[in-house]
Amino acid sequence: MTEPLDKTPVLIVDDDPSMRAALRQWIRLAGFATREVATSDEAMAKLSAGFDGCVVSDVMLEGEDGVSLLRRIGELDRDLPVILITGHGDVPMAVEAMRAGAYDFVEKPFDPDHIAEVVRRACDKRTLVMENRALKSQISDGAGLESRLIGNSPAMQTLRQQILHFAGTDAAVLITGETGTGKEVIAQALHDFSHRKDGPFAAINAAALPETMVEAELFGHEAGAFTGADRQRVGRIEAANSGVLFLDEIVSMPLGLQPKLLRVLQERKVDRIGGTRPVDVDIRLISAANMDPKDAVRSGRLREDLLFRLNTIELTVPPLRERGRDSLLLFDTFLNRFAVQYGMDSPATTARDEAFLQTYSWPGNVRELRNAAERFVLNAGVSPQPLEVLVTGRGNAGAKPVDGGLKELMDAYERSLIEGALRRHGGHIAEVMRELNLPRRTLNEKMTRHGLSREMAGTPEPSED
């Protein structure tokens, strides 16, 4: 019988099969998962510094006693609780065990409720230790995450906090956002900042594969399962064992395969095509969609029961046009990276370029911006052009190239910012005031001076804000 993977594990070490069976029964009844071995070497093979439960070991083991095992575990992780049990205990042995770092020392015969309570307290202590480690890791790793998900906008700051928080869990994550916003970067970060970081990160784009290949790619197949299957192949789900499986464009997964994926998530087992028995898998599933998953359910592209398994945690990535000055920071970062990559000087941007960066809608989001930065670097040495021309192939019909001094450049920059805000908010003046942090009278004066009106945004504002 396979136990739920979300239960705290307890490693039982005892060379007596009957005692292992008794401990297994009592500890499982207390709500924990159990793993059982007979020797200290087998125990060490099952343990790591990331083990999130406790160890229950008999003192009298074949080959090496429990106190020696306790010391070996202490060298691996001194905060991993070890409970020692024995029928031959005495005061000196108990003292030695406690000095060696034992969490507790229990003599046989003991009450099953007592051993369950000791295990519960040990696991509670371990949970606190692991949470504190995760918090310290988040503090030290925060800067690393900022270099991946660049931006100072409130939305990006919140997103980074969410990633660091949820990376410490194994819950399924659904990432939603427009194409090019960086959904795979977020999935990779959830993997890299988690306890699964040493495990595989297997990514597959459900929309990029022919429907006939998706099942074999995900679930694998046995030799002879179908024409052309001349050998066994492990699927992406199985290959992600102990790590993360990232399914991009999840709403493009064929409907016929969605129940099979749902079964994997429910039972943690995968059935290869042509296989006779399921294979156990330990994965964290992260999926992504560039449309509202509820719309996908309503349109019949995504099963509702599968959605409920996918979106235990839902992260929404904002489009670049809603991230304010992040476009300037991102563009500058990409300029420097490409300048180093191509061995060129990083070109300077003009006020017109910066105005365009903040007012252009960037339909391709960060991916489009990155491409624009690369082109800007490569063109700077031979045929420098305004960024707007490189991106759109034309200049802004409503704005001529600006010549003159600082005042003319600043006026052009101010006009482009207000015009962009009007367009983004559909002419709603209250929203423009909030974005630009301007009072109504000041905004009206500037709009009049620059010849701007709310109707230019395409959606006239109601009479009352």
- Where are the domain boundaries for CATH 3.40.50.2300 in the chain? 9-130
Task: Report the chain's mean pLDDT, rounded to a whole number.
Answer: 85
CA torsion, ordered 35, 246, 318, 311, to nearest 10 deg = -50
- Is 60 exceeded by the pLDDT of residue 400? no
Report the candidate in 309, 377, 313 with the shortest Cα–Cα distance to residue 339.
Answer: 377
Element (H, E) at 298: helix 293-298
94 pLDDT band, cuts 50/70/90, is low
Question: What is the pLDDT confidence band of residue 5, given thresholds at 50, 70 and 90?
Answer: low
pLDDT digits (tens, 9 = 90+) for 136-177: 665 555 557 888 898 888 899 999 999 999 998 999 999 999
Alpha-carbon torsion 283, 284, 290, 294, what sign? Answer: positive
| pLDDT for residue 368 | 96
Arithmetic mean of pLDDT, 12-21: 92
pLDDT the model gives residue 21: 93
Q: Which residue has the higher pLDDT, 101 or 315?
A: 315
Residue 354 vs residue 228, higher pLDDT: 354
* Class at the top of the CATH hierarchy for domain 322-457: mainly alpha
Band (pLDDT 50/70/90 cuts) for residue 105 is: confident
Is the confidence at residue 362, as pLDDT, over 90? yes
More confident site: 86 or 57: 57
Q: Which residue has the higher pLDDT, 414 or 446?
A: 446
Provide φ and ψ at 85, rounded to 5°: -125, 150
Which regions of the chain carry the CATH code 1.10.8.60? 322-457
Please list, residue by residue across 58-82, b when 16 or more beta carbons sit within 10 angstroms of its beta carbon and e when fewer do: bbebeeebbbebbeebeeeeeebbb
Confidence of residue 57 (pLDDT cuts 50, 70, 90): very high
Query: Minimum mean pLDDT among 39-43, 264-268, 342-346, 410-414: which range?
Result: 410-414
What's the mean pLDDT in 85-113? 77
The answer to whether the predicted template modeling score (pTM) of the entire model surpasses 0.85 is no
Assigned token pair, 60: 């009298």
Q: Which CATH superfamily is domain 9-130 in?
A: Response regulator (3.40.50.2300)
pLDDT over threshold 60, residue 458: no
Q: Residue 409 above 80 pLDDT?
A: no
SS3 175: strand
The fraction of the chain above a pLDDT of 70, given in percent, is 89
**From the candidate CATH numbers 3.40.50.300, 2.60.120.260, 3.40.50.620, 3.40.50.1100, the one assigned to the domain spanning 153-318:** 3.40.50.300
Range list for CATH 3.40.50.300 in the chain: 153-318
Q: Which residue has the tokens 């959830």?
A: 190
**Comparing C-alpha atoms, which of 19, 132, 9 is closest to residue 66?**
19
Which of the residue ranges 84-98, 209-223, 245-259 would you say has the lowest mean pLDDT? 84-98
**347, 377 contact by CB (below 8 A):** yes
Per-residue pLDDT at 459: 46
Q: Residue 102: its pLDDT value, please?
A: 87
Q: Compute the distance between CA of residue 46 and CA of residue 36 in angstroms, rounded to an integer.
A: 9
